[in-house]
Chain A
Amino acid sequence: MNQDFETQLQVVQRALGEVVLPALGSADKHVIEQLHLSLAAIGFMQQRVPLARQYYRGTLERYLAMAGAVAALLDADAESLADQSKQSKAVLDDPAASDADLRAATATLRAGVAALVEAAKDTPQESALDALVLEYSEAILSEDRSWCIPLGFELRPEDLPKPDWQP
């Protein structure tokens, strides 16, 4: 197959950036701005499509670690999360799992942990649980920020730790 995603994105980016954009000299400002933003979206995909699977797998692994720690802290109160973790681990271990499966498994764990945080209000475990969630989230958010670097919002992207999925 000679039709790959990278080439599709590259040809569209070149056509829009080198042919269409110069031809829009006197167009309304918002038209040119939307084209620039479209190019930015394509540029993001060019950089991230080849790394998507590693990123999704890495994110699921980190949420499994968080869910494991939460389940250990709450014990019997986190049975449902423990079950979700088992199913999510099976997805991670399944070589046939799609990217959508990985993302769905991650979303399930995120929702499961968030629900327990809410339910723990005014319980003896609340402050330990909240602290644990913040601790595990720090590394996850660092990876998420790295994922979004191509969008150009990080003032000093070089200060972020190198993520596992980055070659």
Chain B
Amino acid sequence: MIDDSIRQHPSDAFIEAVRARFPTEREVDTVLTRKMRRRNGPSFQAVGLETLVDGTERLITNQVGYPVRIADARWLSGGASKLQMLFNLQWRGENANGQAQVVTPMVLRMEPAASVTESSRRREFEVIRAVAGTVPVPHAYWMDPDAQFLPYPAMIYGFAAGTAKPSHDAGKVTGLGQNYGPELRAKLAPQFIEYLARIHNLPIGAPPVLASFDRPEVGSNASVIRQVNAARRIWEEDRIEDEPVMAVVYKWLIRNAPPIDHISIVHADYRSGNFLFDEARGEITAWLDWEGAVLGDRHQDLTYAALPIFQHYAEDGETILVSGMMPEAELYAAYEKASGLPVDPVRIRYFGVFNRYLVSVLLLAASTRAARGAATHQDVLLNHVAGMGYLALSDLLGNLRSATA
């Protein structure tokens, strides 16, 4: 393909030109630039558990100031983007007291050489710490954001119990058309709404809280444009071939970016499949995958949860349930009631297009690029989900037409 080699082996001039053309948040810029520079480095090599155990022990020892030991290390499946190792840490506990020995199950979450969602471990760590106590999340212990101890940037969090898929529907790629069934759905749906409302109402503290996030300004659309540019930049860096529809949509997104009316923490991947739950009790036990979180507009999360790829038909064969929970209109109404924040139809339309644009970028460009570059431990999975790209793009086209009709 014509423009493939410059993307697979980018020159400094190409990298800098793209950075200048699509300005985005500081930390996002750092992560995307690192991704591009990595393409000229050694190719991705499978990482053994021994390497991860060694690096993790050194990281934790450095953080706690005394030697620790890792036992029972094993791979943790699930997710399309990060390497995960489950292990038991033998240490003195969080409030180290004398020589007491504590065993704590933990998870190492490390990037591969490339990913469907290139993201910052620093931001993921900060946002999990920020929402802890407001919604159930795994405890964020330590991070290695610059790969000082591990082969790639990583973080360590506490193991959270629960399952991402109901036992009757365990064969699905997590979250895609996830059907929880009527009984479980009735218990999970109110929690799904309540936690989203809590996240969006959480006050944003001053730095050092969320220090890696640029602060949006109420009344300005600059932060929305930075996000659109981040997606556009990924398209420029990762695409296999150009796509005229994407060019049309980008212009529309820039031109119609709405000003922020209330600054929220936005999870940015809030949907079925991204939370763990206790199947017997029907309780959400942990919200996962905070890596794409931003400070921004709540409508981004609302419309993301309602994307067609996370929908399925209810038992009547006609009603469409978003994120396996409830019809879209009911979701918005329940959210307004729970949060006290208004749901604005204009912003719903805008972020409906934005999220479809982003998903199209991730599927048609980032996933395909990572798989072609043999850059992950999950190439075959990324290649598979990339097959949804044209469905996503077709949906984007239809959605844009509806939004502009």
Contact = CB atoms under 8 A, between A and B. Distances in A.
Interface of A: 28-30, 33-34, 37-38, 40-41, 44, 66, 103-104, 106-108, 110-111, 113-115, 117-118, 121, 126, 130, 133-134, 137-138, 141-142, 144-145, 147-148, 151, 153-155
B384 A40 contact: yes
B243 to A, nearest CB: 6
Contacts of B250: 118
B243 A114 contact: yes
Contact of B393 (A108, A141, A155): A141
Most buried by B among A37, A40, A108: A37
Given A117-B247, A130-B248, A133-B248, A153 B75 contact: no
Contact of A137 (B78, B244, B387): B244
24 contacts: A30-B75, A30-B77, A37-B384, A41-B380, A41-B384, A108-B2, A110-B242, A111-B3, A111-B242, A114-B247, A115-B247, A118-B250, A133-B244, A133-B245, A133-B247, A141-B394, A144-B393, A145-B391, A145-B394, A148-B391, A151-B387, A153-B176, A153-B388, A155-B177
A147 B388 CA distance: 11
Nearest first, the 5 A-B pairs at minimum CB distance are A151-B387, A30-B77, A144-B390, A117-B247, A111-B242
Contact of A134 (B2, B177, B245): B245
B13 interface: no
Nearest to B392: A153
A29 B78 CA distance: 9
Nearest to B2: A107
B401 A134 contact: yes
B248 A107 contact: no
B280 to A, nearest CB: 21
Contact of B380 (A37, A118, A138): A37
Contacts of A130: 248, 251
Nearest to A106: B241
Contacts of A41: 380, 383-384
A121 B254 CA distance: 11
Contacts of A103: 1
Mostly, the B contact residues are: helix
Contacts of B68: none
B380 A34 contact: yes
B204 interface: no
Mostly, the A contact residues are: helix
A48 B391 CA distance: 18
Contacts of B52: none
A118 B77 contact: no
A145 B94 CA distance: 52
A153 to B, nearest CB: 5
A51 to B, nearest CB: 16
B62 to A, nearest CB: 29
B246 interface: yes
Contacts of A118: 247, 250-251
B317 to A, nearest CB: 11
B107 to A, nearest CB: 14
Interface string B226-269: 00000000000000011111111011000000000000000000
A63 B352 CA distance: 28
Interface in B169-213: 176-177
Contacts of A106: 241
A148 to B, nearest CB: 5
Contacts of B251: 117-118, 121, 126, 130
Contacts of B70: none
A151 B309 CA distance: 14
B77 A28 contact: yes
A130 B249 CA distance: 9
